[in-house]
Amino acid sequence: MISALLVMIGISLLLGAVLGYSAIKFKVEGNPLVEKIDAVLPQTQCGQCGYPGCMPYAEAIAKGEADINLCPPGGEEGIRKLAELLGVDFKPFGEGAGPRAKAVAFIDENTCIGCTLCLQACPVDAIVGAAKQMHTIIASECTGCELCLAPCPVDCISMQTIPQHIGNWKWQYPTHSIVQVAAR
Amino acid sequence: MRKLFKFHGGVHPPTHKTESSRTPIVQAAMPSKLVIPLHQHVGNRAVPTVQVGERVLKGQIIGRPEGRLSSAVHASTSGTVSAVDMQVVAHFSGLPDLCVTIIPDGKDEWIAHSGMDYKQTPHSELRQRLREAGIVGLGGAVFPSDMKSYSHKHKIKTLVLNGAECEPYITCDDLLMRERANEILRGAEVLRELLYAEEVLIGIEDNKPEAIAAMRQAVADDGHARMEVIAVPTLYPGGGAKQLIRVLTGIEVAAGVRSTEKGVQCFNVATAYCAWRAITFGEPLLSRIVTVTGNVERAQNFEVLLGTPVDELVAQAGSKADTYKHIMGGPMMGVDLPSGAVGVTKATNCIIEASQAMFPPPQAAMPCIRCARCAAVCPAELQPQDMYWFAKGKDFGKTQEFHLFDCIECGACAYVCPSHIPLVQYYRFAKSEIWQREQEQQAAEVARERHEFHMLRIEREKQEKAERLAQKEKAALAAKPAAPTPLPVAADPNADPENTLQMRIDSAVAHSNMQMRIDAAAARAKEQVATEQPKNTDALTPQQQAEIAEIEARRAKFHEIASHPGADDESPKQ
Amino acid sequence: MWSSPFITTPTSVSQIMLRVLLALIPGIALYVWYFGPAILVSLTLASITALATEAIMLKLRNRPLKPFLSDNSALITGWLLALSIPALAPWWLIVVGTAFGIVIAKHLYGGLGNNVFNPAMIGYAVLIISFPAHMTHWISPNTLGGIGLSFVEQLNYTFNGVLPGGLKLDAVTMATPLDTLKTQLHLGLSVDVIRDMPIFGYLGGKGGEMVAIGFAVGGAYLLLTRVISWVIPATYLGTLFAIAAIFHLADPAHYVAPLFHWFSGAAMLGAFFIYTDPIGSPTTHRGQVIYAAGAALLTYLIRTFGGFPDGVAFAAVLMNICVPLIDAYSQPKVFGKKGDGK
Ligand code: SF4
Ligand code: SF4
Ligand code: SF4
Ligand code: SF4
């Protein structure tokens, strides 16, 4: 039995060596860490992480000042990517935090008084309009950060979730696997 | 004998073709209503051009093509538009899409239409005609034919006409070739003309001897030159465009490559037929041949008006009571229809009525035993078991390394898999996941740029303000008699409290004025909101939807403006 | 909503595995004919152990029992192991080997489909390393005119370790032809002289060669029913033949003829039943060629120059390790991307 175990251990060591070698050999040199982190963040620029935008959050993560589970728009997938990038463990969102359904801001154009306050708040300049003119949101550029909601003096901006339609529908992960059948 | 080539793999599922191929094509009865989706083709959805209540004539455009890659949609008969709204359509998702519903008046009254002689007409006009007649690939791919009939500056040697019809159960092309061979071939001549193709090769699987004979006869009768009808071995998916091109010419067209680059183009026989009707008689695509088979009393082929509800169609073939779902297309690549209410579309080549006995629900999947049966049959020469392994683990990068996007979703792998793994669904899942991620990544990229630009703009505005302030100060100083030399750090407004005090007061007054104005306007607006009905966004009427569409259009315009910044709005990247 | 395709072939995993079991039967029948019914006892023991351990492991891993127990894969593990070790052996030998194979080599790796190694071969490797003494006592074929044991006497030995009339185990067993060949060569005899010894037959050892032919017949059945492809058996046997032929031609006195390698030991069993195990072999065509050729080379080297009686099992285990690497480097070009100018 002992010698059998030794053989097994020997084999696993060999495999480990091969894996280790390939890890070194195929390693890719890339851009600095902050940029890599920023590339993973969803760029919603919403500040929900407690930093004034994605880049500052990326910098904070790189410096080790911030946790990786603070960005709700990125979702768990985002945390997973960060964990992988930084070589740390996955960490779920804290109590109550977590991603919401994707939404875009919508200005009720009948109510808008054209005060331009929302325009200044928008981090990605997705609101167009001039002083005293009706404002509107470029839906395709809106990141859903909700930063324009608070400044509006007439509360005419609302978030509208993006409904599922044929254009954005996705195939689901197959579910009739054997484990599912057993669970039924 | 022409030398035929082989493609890798392939399977021989039971063909079940004789059930429906014994009787000639029958004209389907006029349905009680037509539900015509505006998105029946690859590309942009057609834009509705009719209103509820409007009377339309047979052949009238009800959806105009939008953008380069799109196609027109027509009223299949005369009648009244009863709705332009979201209806469930024949799509994997089971989700609704914009449809025009027409109640036929039974008169079948044609709109004025006329044909043209394709030899006397410029090619651009012919293509325009194809586009406006709504001609798209009728083999199931529904790619707009006008976009396929360009040679793209490549020398096209071969035009392949696809009559292979490799999917089990389907016989609509078989019957069309038997009954309307002459017109198919004339359509092929039109397409040959458009492509400047030298030869026409017509590939038909050898399990359709009648169709082969009819087509050969027609070639001989009409004296078509350099046109050959070739019997190809029956092997699924030999009717895939790429597989058929390979078999007939030996050329392999990789995924993401236009076959014209390799000097071939491929059209379905039914497409050629409809192209001929559209050019010569000015008849747009209003109907198609649909095989109705499976769990029915009389499996046969119907000529069906587009938009005919599937329920009404299958009733004519005598759908049996224990039918529990409808499959559109063949059993290998078809769509499990969400409901019998969906309308027949240009892609509907076949409706298979499924009973539990014929199409039992999928069996439980066992683990992959790496038997490589899937790899042995894959026509794209992929390693399905590896793609499956990574798709299952959601390692999408790896699936792409294993050429996920070369997969044509033919289903041969899942057909042979002894573990009954729904392989194709894993690939579709992985593909749509990757597409979504790419989109999100792109959106994030745009947002990043726009945010950077935003920050830059704020920075610049701050600077400009400071500069303006400095200018004013300078002016004020200059106005003073015997003014001392300007301060060196004039840009800082706090540098000289004495001089800027007045300005600050000014601006504070201006601001409070502004604030008052805003408050007043806000109060007005609030009143307005209070008097307005609360808006219910869940149950939108078509009119409201139309309004939203209008707003979207306006937004799109803004978008355009926004994406072409003025001269002073330089992008930070430059 | 389901995804197409809506039809599948009736072939299932359990059907494939069942065919493999069926294909083993001609070999087993000849085994019984030449060596007596002891093999049936060890096959039964192996089957029971395999199913029991499989069931326990499935329960522990919280997997459904029915589909996995009826997939017949555990039976194959048990049978292959039973056929690879001496039939006349204490009962616990086959039980330990089978259990080890199923528990460690199969389920600890994630169960059916996820195992890296062929569980039966791991079981064999563990047995031969841990209990080498028990692994050398092979029953003499009854055509050699030795003392034949009755079924009851064999049972008695298996469970109680008692042979009738104070017989020594050596009296009813012998070393395998491969072993004999090796020891006699060490003693300085030449191949022709050794081959004239009574235990050798036409092709391999007496009796053993017939069993090998039985396995080849079963293999042909698997090929005909397309349960296995011809690539691995053909490459394996071809390579084994070629290497043996080269050595034999160079020095006929020291290296035995290639056909002897085919028909002795577990070569035929390996060619059609062990190396063709899909889970532990490469999936690509080229990969399978490399894998089978490598296995043949290792088999020959271990048989001829190594210390173990046969090389088939170790070759399988060693080649199993290489499969991911072989697969990675033998990826075929996909449709339209072959760069042949077309
Ligand atoms: S929480 Fe918002 S601002 Fe912070 S990283 Fe995520 S998207 Fe960017
Ligand atoms: S803050 Fe509100 S009122 Fe002011 S411009 Fe924006 S949407 Fe209109
Ligand atoms: S579905 Fe894709 S992977 Fe499967 S056989 Fe067809 S092309 Fe190959
Ligand atoms: S056919 Fe099924 S079990 Fe066999 S390798 Fe492919 S996916 Fe795995």
Do the chains contact at B385 and C71, CB–CB below 8 Å?
no
Indicate whether C257 belongs to any domain.
yes
Do the chains contact at A182 and C63, CB–CB below 8 Å?
yes
Atom of ligand 2 nearest to the CA of B525: 3
Spell out which residues of chain A touch residue C114, defining contact as CB-CB under 8 Å: none
Site residues for ligand 4, CB cut-off 6 Å: B 368-374, 384-385, 388, 416-419, 421, 423
CA distance B408 to B387: 13
Question: In b/e form, how buried is each residue of B55-74, taking b as 16+ CB within 10 angstroms?
Answer: ebbbbbbbbebeeeebbbbb
Please give the helix or strand (H or E) that residue B62 lies within, else none: strand B61-64
Indicate whether B128 belongs to any domain.
yes
Among protein residues, the one with the nearest Cα to ligand 4's atom 7 is: B385
Average pLDDT (A160-181) is: 71
The verdict on B373 and B308 lying in the same domain is no
Average pLDDT in chain A: 77
C324 touches chain B (CB under 8 A): no
State how far residue A183 is from chain C, nearest Cα, in angstroms.
9
Do the chains contact at B416 and C12, CB–CB below 8 Å?
no
Label residue C337 by pLDDT band (50, 70, 90). Answer: confident
State how far residue B521 is from chain A, nearest Cα, in angstroms.
6
The verdict on B343 and B398 lying in the same domain is no
The verdict on B311 and B209 lying in the same domain is yes
Which residue does chain B place closest to C331, by CA atoms? B383
Q: Omega before B237 cis (within 30°)?
A: yes
Amino acid code (one letter) for B274: C
Choose among B83, B70, B106, B69: nearest CA to B36: B83
- B533 in helix, strand or coil? coil
Amino acid code (one letter) for B326: H
Please provide residue C61's backbone torsions phi and psi, each rounded to the nearest 5 degrees.
-90, 5
Indicate whether B348 belongs to any domain.
yes
Separation in Å, CA B249 to CA B44, B231, C98, C342: 33, 13, 55, 10
Domain boundary residue, one of B427, B449, B470: B470
- Per the model's pLDDT, the better-predicted residue between A122 and A134 turns out to be A122
Indicate whether B24 belongs to any domain.
no
Indicate whether C254 belongs to any domain.
yes
Question: In b/e form, how buried is each residue of B382-413, taking b as 16+ CB within 10 angstroms?
Answer: bbbbbbbbbbbeeebebbbebbbebbbbbbbb
Choose among B571, B542, B16, B517: nearest CA to B293: B16
Q: Is the CB of B409 under 6 A from ligand 3?
A: yes
CA distance C20 to C75: 10
Mutate to test the pocket of ligand 1, among A35, A48, A146 (most ligand atoms within 8 A of CB): A48
CA distance B161 to B272: 8
Averaging pLDDT over each range in A6-15, A80-89, B478-487, C256-265, which range is the top one?
C256-265
B440 touches chain A (CB under 8 A): yes
The verdict on B456 and B399 lying in the same domain is yes
Domain that holds residue B380: 365-470
The verdict on B435 and B393 lying in the same domain is yes
Ligand 1 centre to CA of A160 (Å) is: 19
Q: Which ligand is nearest to the CA of A69?
A: 1
Domain count, chain C: 2
Counted across chains B and C, CB pairs separated by less than 8 A come out at 144
Q: What letter does residue B516 receive in the DSSP assignment?
A: H
Indicate whether C43 belongs to any domain.
yes
The verdict on B155 and B303 lying in the same domain is yes
Do A153 and A113 meet the contact criterion of CB atoms below 8 Å apart?
yes
Average pLDDT (A42-62) is: 86
Q: What letter does residue C205 receive in the DSSP assignment?
A: B
pLDDT in tens, C156-167: 888 887 777 767
CA distance C236 to C230: 10
Do B132 and B72 meet the contact criterion of CB atoms below 8 Å apart?
yes
The upper half-sphere exposure of residue C182, i.e. CA atoms within 13 Å in the direction of its Cβ, equals 20
CA distance C113 to C106: 9
pLDDT score recorded for residue C282: 92
CA distance A176 to C288: 32
Q: Across chain B, which distance is largest between two alpha carbons, in Å?
A: 110
Indicate whether B147 belongs to any domain.
yes
B155 touches chain A (CB under 8 A): no
pLDDT score recorded for residue B71: 93
Domain boundary residue, one of B310, B328, B355: B355
Domain boundary residue, one of C124, C146, C174: C174
Which residue does chain B place closest to A176, by CA atoms? B364
The upper half-sphere exposure of residue B533, i.e. CA atoms within 13 Å in the direction of its Cβ, equals 3
Among protein residues, the one with the nearest Cα to ligand 2's atom 7 is: A112
B431 touches chain A (CB under 8 A): yes
Among protein residues, the one with the nearest Cα to ligand 3's atom 5 is: B378
Site residues for ligand 1, CB cut-off 6 Å: A 41-42, 44-49, 51, 53-54, 57, 71-74
Site residues for ligand 2, CB cut-off 6 Å: A 107, 112-118, 129, 135, 151-152, 154, 156-157
pLDDT score recorded for residue C173: 76
The verdict on B156 and B138 lying in the same domain is yes
The verdict on C25 and C160 lying in the same domain is yes
Mutate to test the pocket of ligand 3, among B8, B333, B413 (most ligand atoms within 8 A of CB): B413
pLDDT score recorded for residue B549: 62
- Chains with at least 3 CB pairs less than 8 angstroms from chain A: B, C
Do B71 and B46 meet the contact criterion of CB atoms below 8 Å apart?
yes
Q: Residues, chain B, total? A: 574
Domain boundary residue, one of B445, B470, B495: B470
Residue C73, pLDDT > 70, answer yes
Indicate whether C336 belongs to any domain.
no
Indicate whether B37 belongs to any domain.
no
The verdict on C145 and C47 lying in the same domain is yes
Give the predicted TM-score (pTM) of the model. Answer: 0.82
B92 touches chain A (CB under 8 A): yes
CA distance C270 to B76: 66
User: Residue for token digits 């460690």?
Assistant: C104
pLDDT score recorded for residue B72: 94
Can you name the residues that pair with C174 across neighbouring β-strands? C138
Indicate whether B460 belongs to any domain.
yes
Q: Residues, chain C, total? A: 342
Ligand 4 centre to CA of C28 (Å) is: 29
Indicate whether B224 belongs to any domain.
yes
Select the residue from A11, A22, A176 to test the C interface by mutation, using most C Cβ atoms within 10 A.
A11
Do B292 and B300 meet the contact criterion of CB atoms below 8 Å apart?
yes
The verdict on B330 and B392 lying in the same domain is no
Do the chains contact at C64 and A14, CB–CB below 8 Å?
no
Give the Cα-Cα-Cα angle B201, B233, B12 (nearest 5 degrees): 135
The verdict on B284 and B381 lying in the same domain is no
pLDDT score recorded for residue A165: 82
The verdict on B371 and B309 lying in the same domain is no
Domain boundary residue, one of C112, C143, C174: C174
Contacts 24+ apart (CB under 8 A), B508-512: none
H helices of B120-222, where? 123-132, 145-148, 172-179, 181-195, 209-222
CA distance B268 to B346: 13
CA distance C122 to C140: 26
Domain count, chain B: 2
Indicate whether C259 belongs to any domain.
yes
Choose among C285, C325, C16: nearest CA to B9: C285
Domain that holds residue C116: 12-174
The verdict on B170 and B314 lying in the same domain is yes
Domains of chain A: 33-86 (1.10.15.40), 101-164 (3.30.70.20)
Can you name the residues that pair with B287 across neighbouring β-strands? B305
Question: In b/e form, how buried is each residue of A42-77, taking b as 16+ CB within 10 angstroms?
Answer: bbbbbbbbebebbbebbbbbbeeebebbbbbbbbee
- What does C240-297 look like in DSSP terms, one character per residue? HHHHHHHHHHH-TTTS--HHHHHHSTTHHHIIIIITT-GGGS-SSHHHHHHHHHHHHH
CA distance A120 to B254: 49
The verdict on C167 and C215 lying in the same domain is no
The verdict on C34 and C130 lying in the same domain is yes
Q: Which ligand is nearest to the CA of A110?
A: 2
Select the residue from A125, A133, A168, A175 to test the B interface by mutation, using most B Cβ atoms within 10 A.
A125
Q: Are strands B199-205 and B158-162 parallel, antiparallel or unpaired?
A: parallel
Spell out which residues of chain A touch residue B450, defining contact as CB-CB under 8 Å: 124-126, 141
Do the chains contact at A123 and B366, CB–CB below 8 Å?
no
CA distance B58 to A54: 56
Q: What is the CATH classification number for the domain harbouring B277?
A: 3.40.50.11540
Please provide residue C81's backbone torsions phi and psi, each rounded to the nearest 5 degrees.
-65, -45
The verdict on C160 and C300 lying in the same domain is no
Spell out which residues of chain C touch residue B402, defining contact as CB-CB under 8 Å: 331
pLDDT in tens, C245-272: 999 999 888 888 899 899 988 899 999 9
Averaging pLDDT over each range in A39-53, B139-153, B266-280, C103-117, which range is the top one?
B266-280
Ligand 4 centre to CA of B367 (Å) is: 8
Token pair of B375 as six digits: 């790899």
Do the chains contact at B97 and A44, CB–CB below 8 Å?
no
Do B36 and B100 meet the contact criterion of CB atoms below 8 Å apart?
yes
Query: Which residues 72-131 of A are in CB contact (within 8 Å) with B?
Result: 108-113, 115, 122-126, 128
Give me the residues of chain B with pLDDT under 50, please. Answer: 483-501, 504, 532-539, 558-574
Token pair of A99 as six digits: 């991603």
pLDDT in tens, C27-64: 999 998 888 888 898 999 999 999 999 999 999 988 88
- B266 in helix, strand or coil? strand
The verdict on B396 and B457 lying in the same domain is yes
Contacts 24+ apart (CB under 8 A), B422-425: B422/A174, B422/A176, B422/B362, B422/B365, B422/C2, B422/C3, B423/B374, B423/B384, B423/B387, B423/B388, B424/C3, B424/C4, B424/C5, B425/A171, B425/A174, B425/C2, B425/C3
Token pair of C89 as six digits: 């052996």
Residue C124, pLDDT > 80, answer yes
Indicate whether B176 belongs to any domain.
yes
Domain boundary residue, one of C147, C174, C201: C174
Q: How many CB atoms lie within 10 A of CB A167?
A: 10
Do A107 and A156 meet the contact criterion of CB atoms below 8 Å apart?
yes
Among protein residues, the one with the nearest Cα to ligand 2's atom 1 is: A152
Q: What letter does residue B344 receive in the DSSP assignment?
A: P
The verdict on C34 and C91 lying in the same domain is yes
CA distance B281 to B183: 12
Q: Are strands B47-48 and B26-27 parallel, antiparallel or unpaired?
A: unpaired
